Amino acid sequence: MEGNCNCYLVIRIKGSVKARKEHLDTLKMLNLKKANWATIVPKTPSYEGMLKKVEHMITWGEPNLKTIKTFLRRVEIMGDGRLDEEYVKKLGYESLEELAKKLYSSEITMNKLKEKGLRPYVRLHPPRGGFKGTIKKHVAAGGEYGYRGEKINELFVRMAAV
């Protein structure tokens, strides 16, 4: 199952100061209105284009199933509390594990879950121990923004305070 990840975990690392309106609009479409928010998007050309457009404000990569399960446990239900096994059954899934697998393979998206009463994002803390590099440089240049592949899991764990 690990080989066919069909989604990206996207984390916004920069705020809105001095940001262009078109970049803020793109971040709003990605459900990332504030810094340190994360979401899961499918791997499609349209989403990849949006990620490239605001690359200097976000970081993204392929999550593993464990990270997606942790992400789902932090998702908030609009109105009351966090997602749990009981609410997952109300959504029509057998377990959190099944919902995680469907997100992992992009059979369902966070926007579809938004229609069912879940917030399409997760609020995170700044990473424990701070960012390893500067948020003003690309990952390839020793910074923090941009595509980071599997290493997104390490950053998410540090930010989720698990």
Per-residue confidence in pLDDT tens, the chain, 162 aa? 455 789 999 999 999 999 999 999 999 999 999 999 999 999 999 999 999 999 999 999 999 999 999 999 999 998 888 999 999 999 999 999 999 999 999 999 999 999 999 999 999 999 999 999 999 999 999 999 999 999 999 999 999 987
How far apart CA 39 and CA 41 sit, in angstroms, is 7
How far apart CA 121 and CA 159 sit, in angstroms, is 14
* Torsion on CA atoms 69, 135, 121, 76, rounded to nearest 10: 70
Question: Which residues in 33-89 belong to E strands, given as ranges?
Answer: 37-42, 58-61
- List Cα–Cα distances, 87 to 3, 31, 75, 90, in angstroms: 29, 22, 11, 5
Q: Which domains does the chain have, with CATH numbers?
A: 1-162 (3.30.1390.20)
The pLDDT of residue 3 is: 55
Q: Residue 131: how many CA atoms within 13 Å on its side-chain side?
A: 20
Tokens in use for 9? 């975990």
